[in-house]
Structure 1
Amino acid sequence: MTQHNPSPFANPAAVASYAVETPRKVPGLADLHRMVTLLLAESATGVAHMLVVGAGGGLELKAMAEARPDWRFTGVDPSPAMLNLAREAVLPFADRVDLVTGTVDQASAGPFDGATCLLVLHFLDRTERLRTLQDIRRRLKPGATIVVVHHSPPVDDAARWMERLAAFGDRADFDQAKARASGRMLAERLPLLAPADEEELLREAGFLDVALFYAAFSLRGWVAAAGAL
């Protein structure tokens, strides 16, 4: 689930453990994928073509492909190693999934019936984030749904919220000092935006009816509709 910054997944060990570690670190990941599918289906009834930005790992691709046999997918990710994981994850649905190595501007023009961008945008600074959202918007049919999920804690207490999520993800041994250090490091390294700024960015990129649907410690998820170009 990377976009312009594949470096967190350049380590072979990190890539190898992604499918196991991510469900541990993201509260309710399976239910989140179900919510994402339901939200997309509100504007995409029947046969549809979905754009999955940051498709590496393939977890959301697999979940949506299993739930919706009438959908096909184009997934894009800059990390070849992560796309290899996705390719394995969606093997039973390979005839409905096209995987592209690169960023969203290298995906086909569409138009797509919906898009997801999960656990991606917190790696990008505001300028890159806006450009990515605009590139997605240009590839969507008017009224199509976008769902985004990423880190967006209150900026005045970001490290504390990142610490809480780190503690949640440490299933082997609860270590508050370790969680605190991890939270502080993530808050310093990631170009985090406040929730209100995230919503404004979506509107600036051309999306309407922006609404929060998911919140878990430092993570937030929004759903919006593509406005007319």
Structure 2
Amino acid sequence: MKPNAFGSYASPSYAEGPPRQVPGFASLHRMVSMLLAERVPANGSVLVLGAGGGLELKALADAHAGWSFHGVDPSAAMLGLAQQAVAPHSDRIQLHEGYVDVAPDGPFDGAVSLLTFHFIPREERLGTLRQLRRRLKPGAPLLLAHISFSQSEPERSAWIARHVAWPTAPDADLAQLEAARQAIGTRLSIIAPEEEEAMLREAGFVGVSLFYAALSFRGWVAYAA
């Protein structure tokens, strides 16, 4: 599912949210594109989990004219936005409504999931990673980026406050800020970076490396064993 980084769901203005809320958003897409291209061939296929909105699909399709994509998202409304965003590349992009289990078996040359895993309940994450691994060719890269920070206090509360503060105007309503902090702390499934990496290894990935860190967001590249 692809609500925005604060947990708000699809709207026609969705595309304006991530660039404002995620530090270095455009550069994150460039890094993902570069790291995929190290292993994905010129005519490769890429699976995108949490493809609603279509921002990463569009960025990757714009950059790699020979790649084909399968995008998965449980929200029909978000997939509608994605369909509009990727219209110039519609002949090589297929969209699927549902969760990872509705994705084609592949095997794919690479997979991406951006700003999605913090919406997946902790107890479902390992299974989701294993489903992704099963759909990848050996050695294929998986790129993840989402909210991840220490779950020990006082670090946890400090990171939530920073996450809320980043896109917020200086004159923002204090009550709204407090509501946002509460929402982040209760509605999202956030785990510590070291647990993220351990879970990737348990799911069958190797070469796990941090490639992106921006305030509350972290990004990893790992490879199917």
Q: So what's the TM-score if we normalise by structure 2?
A: 0.92
Match of 2:59 in 1: 63
Structure with bigger helix share is: 1
1:77-226 map, 5 Å: 77-156=73-152, 157-171=155-169, 173-174=171-172, 178-226=176-224
What is the Cα deviation at residue 15 of structure 1? 2.2
CA contact (8 A) 2:41 2:109 kept: no
Is 23-32 or 178-187 further displaced after alignment? 178-187
Gaps in structure 1 of 5+ consecutive residues = none
Distance 1:163 1:198 in 2: 21
The alignment status of 1:22 with 2:18, answered yes or no, reads yes
What is the Cα deviation at residue 175 of structure 1? 5.4
Is 138-147 or 163-172 further displaced after alignment? 163-172
Distance 1:38 1:117 in 2: 15
1:111-145 per-position Cα deviation (integer Å, ceiling 9, x unaligned): 00000011111112222111111111000000000
What is the Cα deviation at residue 162 of structure 1? 2.1
Q: So what's the TM-score if we normalise by structure 1?
A: 0.90
Gaps in structure 2 of 5+ consecutive residues = none
CA contact (8 A) 1:144 1:225 kept: yes
CA contact (8 A) 2:2 2:53 kept: no
Match of 2:2 in 1: 2
Is 151-160 or 26-35 further displaced after alignment? 151-160
1:22-50 per-position Cα deviation (integer Å, ceiling 9, x unaligned): 21101111110010010111111321000
Distance 1:217 1:132 in 2: 25
Distance 2:86 2:146 in 1: 23
What is the Cα deviation at residue 187 of structure 1? 1.8
Give the match's secondary structure for 1:20.
helix
Q: Aligned-pair RMSD on alpha carbons? A: 1.8
Among all aligned residue pairs of Structure 1 and Structure 2, give the percentage whose two residues are the same amino acid.
Answer: 52
